[in-house]
Amino acid sequence: MAKREWIYGWLFLSPALIFLFTFTHYPAVNTIISSFFSTPKGRRPAKFIGPENYQALIEDEVFWTVLENNFWFAVGTIPTSILLALAMALWVNSQLKGRTLARMAYFAPTVLPLIAVANIWLFFYTPGFGLIDQLRGGLFNLPASNLLGNPDTVLAAMIVVAIWKEAGFFMIFYLAALQSIPPVLKEAADVEGASNFYYLRRIVIPLLMPTTLFISVNAVINSFRLVDHIFVMTDGGPNNASSLLLFYIYETAFQYWQTGYAATLTVVMLILLSILAIGQFFLFDRKIHYR
C-alpha cells in the first residue's frame, strides 16, 4: 500500500516537475554553458572560448553603467513601493467609507498591461503637452521639461512609473495578511491601554513579517526584470541613462545578436538575484513569526 501511495505521489508531482525542469532548470544550465561559448553566426557554429565573455564583461563600460542604474532603480522602487503598499493596506483595512472603491482604485494599475501603463505615463511626461507640463505651466508658470530626455531625471521618472504599477499589487498581500490577524489581539491591546501606534509597531508589523519577506523578494525580482516600460518610453536612453540589466540583455541578444555575451550577462543577473534573495532570508529570518 505504501509503495502504491509513493507511486501516486510521484505521478501527481510529475507534471509540475516536468514544467519546472523544462522551463526553469534546463534553460538556466544551458545559459551557464552558453556563457563559455562564442555566438554562432551563419554556418559557423559556436566554439568554446572559456572566460573570454566574462573578461569582456568586466571591461564593458555600458554594463557597469547599467548595473549602477539598476542599483539606484532598486533603491528607489523597493522600499518606497513596500512602505506605500503597507500604508494603503492599513488605510483600506480600516473602517473607511467607500473602502471597496478605494481598494479597486489602488489595485487598478496592477491589472493594466505593461504597454498600456507605459503609454499612459508617456502622456504625462510628453514635453509641453503632457499633463505634468500642463500643470507646471498653468499653476506655476514654469517652462516645459523633458523628463524622459534628460539623463538626470529619466531614471527617477521610470522609478515613479514602477512604484505606481507595483504598490497596488503588494497592497493585496498586505491586506490579506491584515485580515488574517485575530481581532482578539486588538481587543487585548485596547484593554491594556496600548495606543494604535504601539499596537501597529509591536503586534501588527511583526505578524506581517512573512508577508514582508515574500513581497521584498518579489520587489527585488521586479526591479531587475523591467523591459516593457523602457522599450516603449525611453529605449534605454538618453545615453543608457535609463537602461537596466534585463533590457541590456535583451538588446545584446536580439538587437546586436551576441547570444554568448547575453548569456554571460544573464548568469551575472541570476547570481545577483540569488545573493539578494538569500540575503533577504537571512536578514528577516529572526524577525519572522509564522505563528
Are 262 and 253 contacting, i.e. CB atoms less than 8 angstroms apart? Answer: yes
Q: Which residues contact 57 (CB under 8 A, 6 or more apart)?
A: 63, 261, 264, 265, 268
Give yes or no for residue 288 having a pLDDT over 70.
no
pLDDT of residue 129: 82
Q: Which CATH number fits domain 59-287: 3.40.630.30, 1.10.3720.10, 1.10.10.10, 3.30.450.20?
A: 1.10.3720.10
**pLDDT over threshold 60, residue 291:** no
Domain boundaries, the chain: 59-287
Highest mean pLDDT: which of 69-73, 101-105, 113-117, 236-240? 69-73
In angstroms, the Cα distances linking 8 to 2, 20, 74, 107, 285 are 10, 19, 44, 40, 35
- The dihedral built from the CA positions of residue 270, 267, 62 and 121, taken in this order, carries a sign that is negative
Q: How many CB atoms lie within 10 A of CB 233?
A: 21
Q: What single DSSP character describes residue 201?
A: I
**Candidate ranges 76-85, 123-132, 180-189; pick with highest mean pLDDT:** 76-85
Q: What percent of the chain has pLDDT over 90?
A: 44
The strand pairing partners of 44, in sequence order, are 41
pLDDT tens for each residue of 44-79: 888 889 899 999 999 999 999 999 999 999 999 999
C-alpha to C-alpha distance for 126 and 134, rounded to whole angstroms = 10
| The pLDDT of residue 287 is above 70 | no
Closest CA to 100 of 112, 111, 92, 88: 92
- pLDDT band for position 197 (cuts 50, 70, 90): confident
pLDDT of residue 2: 63
Question: What cell does 191 get?
Answer: 484593554
- Region 152-162: mean pLDDT is 93
The secondary structure of residue 168, as a DSSP letter, is H
Report how far residue 29's alpha carbon sits from residue 36's, in angstroms, rounded to the nearest whole number: 12
pLDDT digits over 232-260, tens only?
899 988 899 999 999 999 999 988 889 99
What pLDDT shows up at residue 171? 94
Tell me, what's the pLDDT at 282? 79
Cα–Cα distance for residue pair 80/74, rounded to 1 Å: 10
Confidence at residue 160, expressed as pLDDT on a 0 to 100 scale: 94
Task: Report how far residue 215's alpha carbon sits from residue 174's, in angstroms, rounded to the nearest whole number.
Answer: 9
Q: What is the C-alpha to C-alpha distance for residues 221 and 272, in angstroms, rounded to an integer? A: 10
Q: 220 or 41, which is more confident?
A: 220
Question: How deeply is 139 buried, as exposed, middle or buried, from its count of CB atoms within 10 A (0-12, 13-18, 19+)?
Answer: exposed
pLDDT tops 60 at residue 290: no
The 3-class SS string of 146-161 reads CCCCCCCCHHHHHHHH
Q: Is the pLDDT of residue 262 over 70?
A: yes
Query: Residues 174, 108, 219, 283: what is their CA dihedral angle, to the nearest 10 degrees?
Result: -10
- CA atoms within a 13 Å half-sphere pointing along the CA-CB vector of 111: 7
